[in-house]
A and B are shown apart, each in its own frame.
Chain A
Amino acid sequence: MTEYPVRRNPKTIIIVTTIIVILIVASYGFLTFWKPRFVVYTYSSFMDWGDEGAEAVLERAFAPFEEKYGIDIDFVILQADANFIVSRLNAEAANPIADVVIGIDNILILQEAARNVLEPYESPNLAWINETLVNALDPEHYLTPFDFGLVTLIYSMNTINSTTHPQLDHLTLADLATSELASALVTEDPHLSSPGLAFLLSQIAIYDKILGENWTDWWEAVEGNIDIEEGWTEAWSAWSSDQTKHLLVSYGTDPAYSAHYLGTEPDTAIAPFYYQDSHWAWMQVEGVGLVKNGPNPELGKAFIDYCLNVTVQSEIPLNQWMFPVRTDLTLPSVFDYAIHPNEVSILNTLLNSTEIAAKLQEWLDEFDTVMTPG
């Protein structure tokens, strides 16, 4: 060693570092210090599919409510889906910070875990919406309907159409089980995605109730061909980027979305299932619910009432691409391209909620067993 290192006094370095760290931590803590707010938990894409983005839309829709009660609504947009939010609410059950949760749907609410973290509330404004929706979602009022949509198959008209594939007009699960269509079909994991689960339940409803056959046979037939993606976004990416993937499990409003963005005729079409001379689709109803033991129960109830106002409901079609639950609203003209609930038979009517609640876990386990290799 030619050079001998100069010894600095570590005491000064340690003291200076400590002071700087304390200052930084204190100022970060101060800046982010919690101010009491009204907290709404929701999932990441909530009201985020429009031209303006979620922030502007939520501001416009809920400013009157904030003004009336003199509060700030804190939309906690969790980077997660509704299942995950329920899991978080369970973790926080002893000391919840959320007042209201938006996005739990008619299948998730059947779970014990979801009902455990919610408080039933019957809004007086339920009079404005169709009773069938209330019953389809939750007759016990743990949730109040917020929006709804139809889960069905869509296809890209750029790659196939009903001339090349006439079966698209009267699609059956048997058509989909052929290796040609099965390898062109993209769906979502029923464990991780609500449209994926809706598709599984649709398939079970058709096999079990219409055809009277063993539903797992179909999955055995398509295993290895069908593309099961993690969630809707991944499935959409796979479907839109891969020319060989023609069909996607998605929503009946997709042609409307396509027409809205192209400004022309849509390039996406719908292929609902066809049985017993009728088209069938699964109905998903999303609800808003009061968090059990939340900090502001009265405000929470007022918020739920407010969600059914025209101000909020009229933002749903073009930002959420679902149907508003209020029946007295005029839908945007692009919604003419969407499939409407009165044009199809609803598959949910074949499987009642008691049956789903009792058997869902068993069905998912059976699904896993079929789809697990070996």
Chain B
Amino acid sequence: MKKQEYWTYLVLSLPVILLSIFLVYPVVSVIIQGLISETGTSFVDTLSAYRTQFTIAFTFIQATLSTVLALLVGLPGAMLLARLRFRGKSLVRALIIVPFVLPPIVVVVGFLQMFGSYGVIDSALMLLTQSSTSIMNLADGLVGIILAHTFYNAPLVMLLVSASMERLNPEIEESAEVLGADSFSRFRRITLPHIRPALAASAILTFLFCFMSFPIVLAFGNGVYRTIEVQIWNSFRWSDFGEASSLVLIQIIITITLAVSYIKLAKVSDNDSGPTTTIRTTTLDKYKNWEKSMILAYLVMILVLIGGPIVSIFRAAFFDPITHSYTLDGFSYLITAGATGGLNPLINSLFYGGLATLLSILIGIPLAYAHKSKSRGLPSLSSVMVLLPLGISSITVAYGLMTVIAVPTGLNINPWPIIVIAQTIIGLPFTARSIEIGLKSIDPAILDQADSLGASRLQRLIYVELPLLIPSILVGAVFAFAMAIGEMSATLFIALPQNYTLAVAIYDNLGVRRFVEAGASALILVAICVVAFLTMEKISEGSTGGTL
């Protein structure tokens, strides 16, 4: 018995050990080396520079504005998604997540084509006013940054909040109705308190994602507006390791504070009603006319803001803006092997993403068990560990992995294992969280039965727990896969050209103005993610939102 406990402890602490080696150690050593080696700007000089202060302030302001807007846009959608019964709901749900898994570089392209100068909206306005010059460019500056962040995160709010709303017990609402509460007070007194933890969690996650935003701010910020992440990247490019380390340190302190408050909120929401209750649903024709028109207006806005950039990507896959003609060159690029073709990046993407997903499941399972563990310190340690990847700049992780893992071991000549490690780290928060939620919903009586029938710990795990966990594992796996396949900045830093993934190839093609190739690659990424989500929705029956 004693031996078994020892093994359990070892298995449970394995993910923490692995994360310490491949995440904490590289990042800490980058920070320390940067701070003590005195190359570049010192910590005090960095902090006292006006530019740094402006960057930090801007990072906060844009993240706050983006979060507010994402909540405002996402909340009605979440309510509709939870309440309305309609055909193709699972398809809509799968499509909603698409923005969230798109590589940011693809979003930039979609946004420019939709909202930029001479984009779809601008052209329509020009036609209306008979103007020959551009009237409105929304894909630029602060407005562009915030709109793009809303595009990314409103779907997140929709999924998280609708998942929480669906678990609202219909009896409570019915009692309220019987007691004469109107729809507004029902929302204020019943729905809102019920979804408050989910709202807060999605707000913190959105804030965190916007806080760490990189390619969008780089593209729309015109060098004037920068997030801390953009400035870290800039410092690394200028080999100003002192400034880079100082900024990474500041960033981590802020994101860990956010992560801790997220964990606290998640603990509160654990006391939620179980997954068994389902909200009362309704159909569209039960609504009053003015409500219908409000819903219609909202849908049009969603279609423009979220559908528009995605449709622009579809168009970009076939339409060559240089020759103004439709072509299939983009797709023939994707099946061309060799240095100039897109086949190698496609294979790399699938291989790295697949392997990273598998690893993040293998590490995610013990990590989720560690959350439940009664050993002292392990649950909170693993909670922090699992959120760290969301709060540490991926460029720093990549630089750290390069200097302390790849270079000393000679892996930098063929660095694909390092890319897989980096992508695993990025996907891990999603698998661990999903499996953790799955674990909670296992009926303890079943486990007691297995024990009393004489199953060993391993037998119980393989024959009882894992089969029950399969839906949550799949949900987490799909998120992890989507994150891995869309990841660009860390991969770009580590990879040699033979390791480039499809996301990097998109960036590459855009750089040399091969738009159809970039568009077709982006379309393939979208298609892979949608298929993965549809499969998962089928298997897990719509519990996607609880993952995050």
* Chain A residues within CB distance 8 Å of chain B: 7, 10-11, 14, 21, 24-25, 28-29, 32-34, 44-45, 48, 53, 55, 76-80, 83-84, 86-88, 90-95, 97, 111-114, 189, 191-192, 227-231, 233-234, 237, 241-244, 361, 365, 368-369, 371-374
Contact = CB atoms under 8 A, between A and B. Distances in A.
Interface stretch (B93-101, B401-409, B536-544): B401-409
Interface of B: 39, 49-51, 54, 117-118, 132-134, 218-219, 222-224, 234, 236-240, 339-340, 351, 355, 358, 399, 402-403, 407-408, 410, 412-414, 416, 462-463, 466-467, 492-493, 496-498, 500, 504, 507-508, 510-513
A372 B508 CA distance: 29
Nearest to B52: A368
B218 A230 contact: yes
Contact of A233 (B51, B407, B416, B512): B512
Contact of B223 (A55, A77, A84, A189): A189
A303 to B, nearest CB: 18
Q: Chain B binding site: helix, strand, loop or mixed by DSSP?
A: helix
A136 to B, nearest CB: 22
B467 to A, nearest CB: 6
B223 A228 contact: yes
B117 A369 contact: no
Contacts of B462: 10-11, 14
Contacts of A14: 462
B497 A113 contact: no
25 contacts: A24-B351, A25-B355, A28-B351, A32-B416, A34-B413, A76-B496, A76-B497, A77-B497, A78-B497, A79-B507, A79-B511, A87-B237, A91-B403, A91-B407, A112-B39, A113-B238, A192-B234, A234-B219, A237-B513, A242-B134, A243-B134, A244-B134, A361-B240, A369-B50, A374-B54
Contacts of A243: 132-134
B223 A371 contact: yes
Question: Which of A192, A234, A368 is packed against the most chain B CB atoms within 10 Å?
Answer: A368
A112 B513 CA distance: 34
B463 A10 contact: yes
B430 to A, nearest CB: 20
Given A189-B223, A228-B224, A95 B412 contact: yes
A366 to B, nearest CB: 10
Contact of B118 (A45, A228, A241): A241
A332 B500 CA distance: 36
Nearest to A14: B462
Q: Chain A binding site: helix, strand, loop or mixed by DSSP?
A: mixed
A212 to B, nearest CB: 26
A365 B49 contact: yes
A229 B132 contact: no
A257 to B, nearest CB: 14
Nearest to A364: B238
Given A55-B340, A365-B51, A21 B358 contact: yes
Contacts of B497: 76-79
Contacts of B54: 372-374
A95 B49 CA distance: 35
Contacts of B223: 189, 191-192, 228, 230, 371
Contact of B237 (A83, A237, A244): A83
Given A25-B355, A372-B224, A97 B51 contact: no
Nearest to A188: B223
